[in-house]
Chains A and B, each alone.
Chain A
Amino acid sequence: EPEVTQTPSHQVTQMGQEVILRCVPISNHLYFYWYRQILGQKVEFLVSFYNNEISEKSEIFDDQFSVERPDGSNFTLKIRSTKLEDSAMYFCASGKQGLNQETQYFGPGTRLLVL
């Protein structure tokens, strides 16, 4: 069964550095999402992406963040100038096309630690 994959599984970075989190969505999916979960808190929506552009984003997703689909398979989240409070688990998800898409399928997550 196809799955969403994410790399790396863990990333440690220094405050102020840029990080790129990578995701490979399920191949026939057209909607892509990023979420984050700060330790002990809820899963928070960051952004959704469709047809090579952002379709929705939350207030968390400020200018520090960007997403890209650089090729036909990868979907990346870039965090410029990381802050301590960016430490969290970042989940990628993908879903099928259409308003009646059944659900989204989650990746295993990347645990980001900003020191």
Chain B
Amino acid sequence: AQRVTQPEKLLSVFKGAPVELKCNYSYSGSPELFWYVQYSRQRLQLLLRHISRESIKGFTADLNKGETSFHLKKPFAQEEDSAMYYCALRSNTGNQFYFGTGTSLTVIP
């Protein structure tokens, strides 16, 4: 069964500190993983996808197939990073997405 796990519901860090939001997955196939973000009173939006291997707003995420993880990292957190972050996995068919329960990140000034 496909499953995405985000073990932390809440995470608080101080501004300028490194931040890591954890995501683990289980999937019987080649996973395609995403991080979505939802800022206060805004819609869900894509932050990054693993196949792009890009850095968006200073965030990076590396797919570790051995550990079945896709943790989101940023070396220096900013106040504007405070938001809800969702890890998501797309099915092989491309037509179904599985979301984690989300991690609420608060960056303390």
* B96 CB contact (under 8 Å) in A56, A105, A106, A107: A56
Complex CA gap A55/B97 in Å reads 13
User: Could you list which residues of chain B lie within 8 angstroms of chain A, going by C-beta atoms?
Assistant: 34, 43-46, 49, 86, 88, 91, 93-102
A-B contact pairs, 26 of them (CB 8 A): A33-B97, A35-B97, A35-B99, A42-B100, A42-B102, A43-B88, A43-B99, A45-B98, A48-B95, A48-B96, A55-B93, A55-B95, A56-B91, A56-B95, A56-B96, A58-B96, A91-B43, A91-B44, A101-B94, A103-B34, A104-B46, A105-B45, A105-B46, A106-B44, A107-B43, A109-B43
A99–B49 contact, CB under 8 A? Answer: no
Q: For B49, B94, B99, which residue has the most chain A Cβ atoms within 10 angstroms?
A: B94
Asked if A18 lies at the interface with its beta carbon under 8 angstroms from chain B, I say no
Sort A-B residue pairs by CB-CB distance and give the 6 closest, nearest first.
A48-B95, A43-B99, A106-B44, A42-B101, A103-B46, A56-B95
User: Contact at A45–B97, with CB atoms within 8 Å?
Assistant: yes
Known contacts A55-B93, A56-B91, A101-B94, A41 near B101 by CB under 8 Å: yes
Cα distance, A43 to B101, chains bound together (Å):
7
Given contacts A42-B101, A48-B95, 15 further A-B contacts (CB under 8 A): A33-B97, A35-B97, A42-B86, A42-B100, A43-B86, A43-B102, A45-B96, A45-B98, A48-B96, A56-B91, A58-B96, A102-B49, A103-B34, A104-B97, A108-B43
